[in-house]
């Protein structure tokens, strides 16, 4: 009897000593590996960032010219001649603009839209994009029509210019996947009288 109880105790002890230390040791190992990997990735990202020093692209509206404005029967006809500036301040990052759309918005309604031909922007480059947006008898929300007519009497309208582009970044030989770049520029003041030509540059909020 004595011996069987001792045997049982020993078996139980062995069971414990066999089972328990094993899992913590594996967990420990996994944890250390994970932490080391994370630290390594962190250091690589940091080094990459320090070497590349990426900074955001800058956009602005340099010119906005309104031509042929005509609101008749709740529909707008007009041409917006825009000049946008896209500035890539990066020393190590070049940008592919694969698809670029520019739109003029007013009071929650899009008035006109056009595309800009794809282009490649090298490092430290400033590029002017000229784009003409034409509205041809575009139906207007009645609130928009009312506001536009009021603006017309006042001589100028504050519109919003939006740009959306699919971009890829290039660092050395590395190219990233597609990103969507969005720029919101407001208020862009357009004048109804073509005799007034001065224009106040508008900086855009850029998001990627």
Ligand X SMILES: *[C@@H]1O[C@H](CO)[C@@H](O)[C@H](O)[C@H]1NC(C)=O
Is 65 a binding residue for ligand X by CB under 6 A? The answer is: yes
Please list the helix, strand and coil fractions of the chain in percent, rounded to the nearest 5, in that order.
30, 50, 20
Say how far apart CA 169 and CA 174 lie, in whole Å. Answer: 8
Residue 192: phi and psi, rounded to 5, are -80, -25
Cβ closer to ligand X: 77 or 147? 77
Q: How far is CA 204 from CA 112, 114, 126, in A?
A: 18, 18, 15
Is 36 a binding residue for ligand X by CB under 6 A? The answer is: no
Is 72 a binding residue for ligand X by CB under 6 A? The answer is: yes
Closest approach, Cβ 65 to ligand X, in A, equals 5
Is 114 a binding residue for ligand X by CB under 6 A? The answer is: no
Radius of gyration, CA atoms only, the chain: 31
Contact letters (x/-) for ligand X, 163-202, by CB under 6 A? Answer: ----------------------------------------
Are 157 and 145 a contacting pair, CB within 8 Å?
A: no
Q: Measured at the alpha carbon of residue 19, what is the angle toward residues 17 and 22, in degrees to the nearest 5?
A: 95
User: Which candidate, 78, 185, 181, 68, places its Cα nearest to that of 138?
Assistant: 78
Is 115 a binding residue for ligand X by CB under 6 A? The answer is: no
Cβ closer to ligand X: 36 or 194? 194
Residue 122 contacts by C-beta under 8 Å, 6 or more apart in sequence?
88, 94
Tokens 């990066």 correspond to 90
Closest approach, Cβ 157 to ligand X, in A, equals 17
Contact letters (x/-) for ligand X, 119-148, by CB under 6 A? Answer: -------------x-x--x-----------
Is 67 a binding residue for ligand X by CB under 6 A? The answer is: yes
Is 3 a binding residue for ligand X by CB under 6 A? The answer is: no
Span interacting with ligand X, options 6-14, 63-71, 142-150, 152-160, rule CB under 6 A = 63-71
Say how far apart CA 201 and CA 199 lie, in whole Å. Answer: 6
Is 55 a binding residue for ligand X by CB under 6 A? The answer is: no
Is 77 a binding residue for ligand X by CB under 6 A? The answer is: yes
Interacting residue ranges for ligand X, rule: CB under 6 A? 65, 67, 70, 72, 77, 79, 81, 132, 134, 137
């Amino acid at each position: 009897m004595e011996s069987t109880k001792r045997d049982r105790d020993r078996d139980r002890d062995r069971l414990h000593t066999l089972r328990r230390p094993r899992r913590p040791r594996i967990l420990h190992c996994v944890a250390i590996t994970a932490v080391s990997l994370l630290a390594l990735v962190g250091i690589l990202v940091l080094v990459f960032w320090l070497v590349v020093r990426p900074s955001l692209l800058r956009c602005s509206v340099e010119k906005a010219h309104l031509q042929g404005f005509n609101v008749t029967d709740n529909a707008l006809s007009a041409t917006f001649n825009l000049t946008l500036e896209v500035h890539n301040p990066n020393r190590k990052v070049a940008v592919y603009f694969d698809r670029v759309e520019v739109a003029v918005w007013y009071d929650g309604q899009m008035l006109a839209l056009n595309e800009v031909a794809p282009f490649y922007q090298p490092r430290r480059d400033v590029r002017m994009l000229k784009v003409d947006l034409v509205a041809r008898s575009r139906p207007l929300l009645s609130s928009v029509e009312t506001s536009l007519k009021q603006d017309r009497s006042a001589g100028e309208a504050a519109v919003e210019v939006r740009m959306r582009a699919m971009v890829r970044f290039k660092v050395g030989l590395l190219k990233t996947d597609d990103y969507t770049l969005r720029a919101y520029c407001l208020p862009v003041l357009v004048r109804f009288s073509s005799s007034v030509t001065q224009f106040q540059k508008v900086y855009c909020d850029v998001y990627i």
